[in-house]
Structure 1
Amino acid sequence: MADPESLGFEHMGLDPRLLQAVADLGWSRPTLIQEKAIPLALEGKDLLARARTGSGKTAAYAIPMLQLLLHRKATGPVVEQAVRGLVLVPTKELARQAQFMIQQLSAYCARDVRVANVSAAEDSASQKAVLMEKPDVVVGTPSRILSHLQQDNLKLRDSLELLVVDEADLLFSFGFEEELKSLLCHLPRIYQAFLMSATFNEDVQALKELVLHNPITLKLQESQLPGPDQLQQFQVVCETEEDKFLLLYALLKLSLIRGKSLLFVNTLERSYRLRLFLEQFSIPTCVLNGELPLRSRCHIISQFNQGFYDCVIATDAEVLGAPAKGKRQGRGPKGNKASDPESGVARGIDFHHVSAVLNFDLPSTPEAYIHRAGRTARANNPGIVLTFVLPTEQSHLGKIEELLCGEGEARVLLPYQFRMEEIEGFRYRCRDAMRSVTKQSIREARLKEIKEELLHSEKLKTYFEDNPRDLQLLRHDLPLHPAVVKPHLGNVPDYLVPPALRDLVRPHKKRKKLSSCRKAKKVKTQNPLHNFKHRGRKSKPTAMPS
């Protein structure tokens, strides 16, 4: 038998169909959490596993779950079709992501193992129809699962064999404590359970007592973020708020940050302010936050992953703020209305190929920093995290760095070497753009987004068919002007580009000069007046006299 310290997927006794799906995903070797967790799960052990974000936790529980279900159907007695696996996640986006991963892994055994996600925005009637078909695995948030259990759409007491709680450290902070306790009353007394988490805190310990039975704890000896060879972390001190906007403009407009980027701010108002500011310079961005409908959020993530956007502005203030246990959040920071409590941005959402995470606003907690930074440098890809810091925030930044590097270790957040005086020529442009972004323009930008959602809502389609006048009034309402965009700001004159960056920023300017004769010849061929040749008008033949 192969050394358990170096197990590959092919040595874990997995079904050939699972191995084929793993190969199609391009996974040549299991990650550390997968290597340790899968064999133990296949032995029937309860697991409490901690691994950093982006380490492959979803596959670490999905692969053994599918293997156990396939093995039961192949070798066990013929039994009635029923729900055997339940996956609980704190957000709707994570539910979609978990469902997609399970479907990818079961691509070659989709007829034998079916998975359903009941956390989406469909009404209960359509979800009831899905559950009546008794899928093998059900994915959802605790509140949606409990609702279906109470309506008898879902029955687990006599059939459930596997329970997974993903991102366990977020469930209680999202206010799911009461739902989870009620949900457990509908489960059988004996089942195998996995708790997957990025951190171990008091909430995870409480969940451990509720869910697990004599578990094996996997507290992997790895840092919470990738090492400096894979993830580079920088901090830059900005003297004023204006300097933050100026530096961000220079980084994005001069392409000093290449590839896809995630910009994190702390409030919803800030996210729209930043988007409107960047729009002044023809830098396309989109806002992703918990107030947007689920379909819109997923559509934005999909467009970002497909390359339609290179920059997404996200806010995690509503998500990572710690509400009172057992209660849903009422209001976010600065009186913002509560966002969807089952939406999440900073934790777990799989943004593809993110090159850089820019903390435009300093995270409120060290844990929030870790989960933001976890959006990049995933799956052995390199990444950069750049944090903007005001002088008054340096003490808080020190607390974050203490958590990251520990005692006696070298600094993790290196100073970002950037000479602000080099971009002073752009300051007047930034001031001009910042003046254009007023509170009124931010309000109108949000109203415009809501109006677009109403016009394209599938749920309101029937209503507008019955009330066409309301649709006409909405379409012909007064036009909204979020901010006055000045076209000249979209271009960067050569004289404003710092000399040290001109070769980097304007590589396309280097062209070979045409010789004078070739240039004259080219001009001549392109001038239609020089090429015009007059042809005399042909005279009509005269008729011969008869």
Structure 2
Amino acid sequence: MSSEDKAAPPAATFADLGLSPKVLSAVEDAGYTTPTPIQAGAIPHALQGKDVLGIAQTGTGKTASFVLPMLTRLERGRARARMPRTLILEPTRELAAQVEENFVRYGKNHRLNIALLIGGVSFDDQERKLERGADVLIATPGRLLDHFERGKLLLTGVDILVIDEADRMLDMGFIPDIERICKLIPFTRQTLFFSATMPPEITKLTQQFLQAPVRVEVSKPASTAQNITQRLVKTGGKPWAKRAKLRELIDGEGDELKNAIVFCNRKADVALLYRSLLRHEYNVGALHGDMDQRARMATLESFRKGTVTLLVASDVAARGLDIPAVSHIFNFDVPVHSEDYVHRIGRTGRAGRSGKAFTLVTRGDGKYVDAIEKLTGQSIEWRDGDLSTLSEEDDGAEPPRRGGRRSGGEGRTRSRGKASDGERSRRGGRAKDEPAPVAAAAEDEAQQQPAAEKPARRKPRKDRADGKAAGERAPAEQPPQGDRPKPAKPERRRGKGEDTPVGFGDDMPDFMKIKVKA
């Protein structure tokens, strides 16, 4: 595969790129006049029908780099039922919905049918849109293949294929699906391929499915924006200590914090941190992959409008979400994949604004920080000393135990029979990340007093040789069997007469009282 590197200077206006008057009118109405470098480099080649390999950091306007030329080219032709004219593949539902919004905004002067195929939405509604014919089909790989296997979709009419956020596709395991989809699309298609990073697996994919692409690279792979202030913050490894440090950072920013996204590595931690911040009366929302689509979109909309100030999220919110005014990013967990760090902090400092990104680092996160600094090619400054200055108090040492009881810790919510954070909150109990309260004085005194001795249970152990109780000595001479005195029978209390058999007492079942006929 031959590749051509292009680093042309940005055009003065969008009118210099060759877009149609309808598209230019919509762009002007949206308030944009000057294209970004990735837009200036990719749009002219996309209009010429060439394959494009676009590499740019997040927040540089990659979406408009393929939306605007596609709208211009779609002015000619008409869609047929179940045969979309163009296909855009996105890794997440949020990104797919956001691309649809861009087509609606910039395509307001066009009469195009747009179909969105994502999970969490009824198959029937999506099939009706496909039956009407889709000029633009935006989909996640899994739902697209579901429709294809149901026989509701044909891909033989696709003229333009867009693969967006390709490195995220790789992280989410979609590459086999991408390869299968590419084989279902005509070989003569135009392919627009965009990614923020270029790992070896992505490079191999471009060599397989792109034909003589024009490479448009406006920044080195995995670079971070210079207008983002990045800081590493040392913290203890205990979850409650990390949550306390996060609250300290949020409160310390004061009025500078307009809104913020807090990233966690795991969905379970998102829910846990959300409940903790909610309990401490922060204006917070949650976003992760296990939420249904309606709840996810409602949370994002609340965050965009400012109804929610803090958004606790997994990496589902790290790629391509267009929320331009995010002032802060907090990495509650250091990302395991260093590329995710670039995308996370790229949610702030967008459209030329300044932003701040804080990353909580524990003693076990050193190798991940080293990988991030190696990928980005820059050393990240520590906020108040590195891990070598971490004291025992900062390290989140467990509070002293009182009365043999464990103090509050993370393990409580994961143990069987233990109350969760939400249950403690509803019961009016203490927060999980606070130290255990001091026991009552009466309880302390009771614990200090020695417990009363219980009578030892003596179970006579039978001797194996003669069947007598162990330790019991047999007398030298035993009287004859008939002369041996019989032990006195203990007096039994019976509540239902003398006919009650010995051994049952008052609990004898009624069926045993029936007399047997002779």
TM-score (norm 1): 0.67
CA-to-aligned-CA distance 1:7-51 (integer Å, 9 cap, x gap) = 420112212221121122222211111010000111111011111
Instruction: Choose the corresponding residue for 1:481, options 420, 423, 429.
Output: 423
User: For residue 312 of structure 1, what is the aligned residue in structure 2?
Assistant: 311
Identify if the C-alpha distance between structure 1 residues 398 and 187 changes in structure 2 by more than 3 Å, giving closer, same or farther.
Answer: closer
- 2:12 and 2:187 map into 1 onto residues whose CA distance is 33
3-state SS of paired residue (2:356): strand
Is the Cα–Cα contact under 8 Å of residues 303 and 309 in structure 2 kept in the other structure?
yes
User: For residue 93 of structure 2, what is the aligned residue in structure 1?
Assistant: 92
1:269-418 equivalences in 2 (<5 Å): 269-316=268-315, 344-405=316-377, 411=379, 413-417=380-384
Is the Cα–Cα contact under 8 Å of residues 79 and 134 in structure 2 kept in the other structure?
no
3-state SS of paired residue (1:185): helix
Give the superposition deviation at 1:441: 9.1
Is the Cα–Cα contact under 8 Å of residues 260 and 330 in structure 2 kept in the other structure?
yes
Is the Cα–Cα contact under 8 Å of residues 437 and 483 in structure 1 kept in the other structure?
no
Gaps of 5+ in 2: 1-7, 401-406, 432-518
- 2:327 and 2:417 map into 1 onto residues whose CA distance is 32
Instruction: Choose the corresponding residue for 2:228, options 211, 216, 231.
Output: 231
Give the superposition deviation at 1:348: 2.1
3-state SS of paired residue (2:352): coil
Instruction: Choose the corresponding residue for 2:59, options 46, 54, 62.
Output: 54
Between 165-174 and 98-107, report the one with greater CA deviation.
Answer: 165-174
3-state SS of paired residue (2:423): coil
Give the superposition deviation at 1:190: 0.8
Instruction: Choose the corresponding residue for 1:44, options 43, 49, 57.
Output: 49
Is the Cα–Cα contact under 8 Å of residues 55 and 219 in structure 2 kept in the other structure?
no
Give the superposition deviation at 1:261: 0.8
Give the superposition deviation at 1:487: 11
Is the Cα–Cα contact under 8 Å of residues 116 and 130 in structure 1 kept in the other structure?
yes
Between 193-202 and 115-124, report the one with greater CA deviation.
Answer: 115-124
- 1:35 and 1:287 map into 2 onto residues whose CA distance is 36
Give the superposition deviation at 1:281: 2.2
- Structure 2 residue 50 is matched with structure 1 residue 66: no
For the aligned residues, what is the CA RMSD? 3.5
Identify if the C-alpha distance between structure 1 residues 192 and 17 changes in structure 2 by more than 3 Å, giving closer, same or farther.
Answer: same
Is the Cα–Cα contact under 8 Å of residues 198 and 221 in structure 2 kept in the other structure?
no
Is the Cα–Cα contact under 8 Å of residues 168 and 196 in structure 1 kept in the other structure?
yes
User: For residue 119 of structure 1, what is the aligned residue in structure 2?
Assistant: 118
User: For residue 217 of structure 2, what is the aligned residue in structure 1?
Assistant: 219
Is the Cα–Cα contact under 8 Å of residues 113 and 134 in structure 2 kept in the other structure?
yes
CA-to-aligned-CA distance 1:141-165 (integer Å, 9 cap, x gap) = 12222222333322231x2211111
1:182-221 equivalences in 2 (<5 Å): 182-221=180-219
User: For residue 143 of structure 1, what is the aligned residue in structure 2?
Assistant: 142
Percent identity, aligned pairs only, is 29
User: For residue 104 of structure 2, what is the aligned residue in structure 1?
Assistant: 103
Give the superposition deviation at 1:309: 0.9
- 1:16 and 1:244 map into 2 onto residues whose CA distance is 54
User: For residue 29 of structure 2, what is the aligned residue in structure 1?
Assistant: 24
- 1:251 and 1:62 map into 2 onto residues whose CA distance is 39
CA-to-aligned-CA distance 1:489-508 (integer Å, 9 cap, x gap) = 9xxxxxxxxxxxxxxxxxxx
Letter in 1 for 2:304: N
Letter in 2 for 1:218: V
- 1:445 and 1:286 map into 2 onto residues whose CA distance is 25
Is the Cα–Cα contact under 8 Å of residues 84 and 135 in structure 2 kept in the other structure?
yes
CA-to-aligned-CA distance 1:293-336 (integer Å, 9 cap, x gap) = 122111111111111111011123xxxxxxxxxxxxxxxxxxxx
Give the superposition deviation at 1:83: 2.2
Identify if the C-alpha distance between structure 1 residues 214 and 439 changes in structure 2 by more than 3 Å, giving closer, same or farther.
Answer: same
Give the superposition deviation at 1:444: 11
Letter in 1 for 2:423: H
Is the Cα–Cα contact under 8 Å of residues 412 and 419 in structure 2 kept in the other structure?
no
User: For residue 244 of structure 1, what is the aligned residue in structure 2?
Assistant: 242
Is the Cα–Cα contact under 8 Å of residues 224 and 370 in structure 1 kept in the other structure?
yes
Is the Cα–Cα contact under 8 Å of residues 436 and 483 in structure 1 kept in the other structure?
no
3-state SS of paired residue (2:271): helix
Give the superposition deviation at 1:389: 1.4
- 1:120 and 1:105 map into 2 onto residues whose CA distance is 25
Give the superposition deviation at 1:238: 2.3
Identify if the C-alpha distance between structure 1 residues 120 and 391 changes in structure 2 by more than 3 Å, giving closer, same or farther.
Answer: closer
Q: Decide which structure has the larger Cα Rg and report it.
A: 2
Letter in 2 for 1:481: E
Identify if the C-alpha distance between structure 1 residues 136 and 188 changes in structure 2 by more than 3 Å, giving closer, same or farther.
Answer: same
3-state SS of paired residue (1:376): coil
Is the Cα–Cα contact under 8 Å of residues 277 and 437 in structure 1 kept in the other structure?
no
- 1:290 and 1:147 map into 2 onto residues whose CA distance is 19
Give the superposition deviation at 1:288: 1.3
Identify if the C-alpha distance between structure 1 residues 95 and 369 changes in structure 2 by more than 3 Å, giving closer, same or farther.
Answer: same
- 1:351 and 1:447 map into 2 onto residues whose CA distance is 33
Letter in 1 for 2:383: Y
Is the Cα–Cα contact under 8 Å of residues 163 and 194 in structure 1 kept in the other structure?
yes
Give the superposition deviation at 1:133: 0.6
Letter in 2 for 1:64: P
Give the superposition deviation at 1:384: 0.4
User: For residue 159 of structure 2, what is the aligned residue in structure 1?
Assistant: 161
Identify if the C-alpha distance between structure 1 residues 404 and 90 changes in structure 2 by more than 3 Å, giving closer, same or farther.
Answer: same
Identify if the C-alpha distance between structure 1 residues 446 and 141 changes in structure 2 by more than 3 Å, giving closer, same or farther.
Answer: farther
Give the superposition deviation at 1:56: 0.8
Is the Cα–Cα contact under 8 Å of residues 115 and 126 in structure 2 kept in the other structure?
no
Identify if the C-alpha distance between structure 1 residues 22 and 444 changes in structure 2 by more than 3 Å, giving closer, same or farther.
Answer: farther
User: For residue 334 of structure 1, what is the aligned residue in structure 2?
Assistant: none
Identify if the C-alpha distance between structure 1 residues 289 and 488 changes in structure 2 by more than 3 Å, giving closer, same or farther.
Answer: closer
- 2:120 and 2:85 map into 1 onto residues whose CA distance is 24
Give the superposition deviation at 1:86: 0.7
Identify if the C-alpha distance between structure 1 residues 235 and 246 changes in structure 2 by more than 3 Å, giving closer, same or farther.
Answer: same
- 2:203 and 2:411 map into 1 onto residues whose CA distance is 46
Gaps of 5+ in 1: 317-343, 449-479, 490-546
- 2:269 and 2:79 map into 1 onto residues whose CA distance is 56
Letter in 2 for 1:371: H
3-state SS of paired residue (1:153): coil
Is the Cα–Cα contact under 8 Å of residues 441 and 481 in structure 1 kept in the other structure?
no
Identify if the C-alpha distance between structure 1 residues 264 and 172 changes in structure 2 by more than 3 Å, giving closer, same or farther.
Answer: closer
- Count of aligned positions: 410
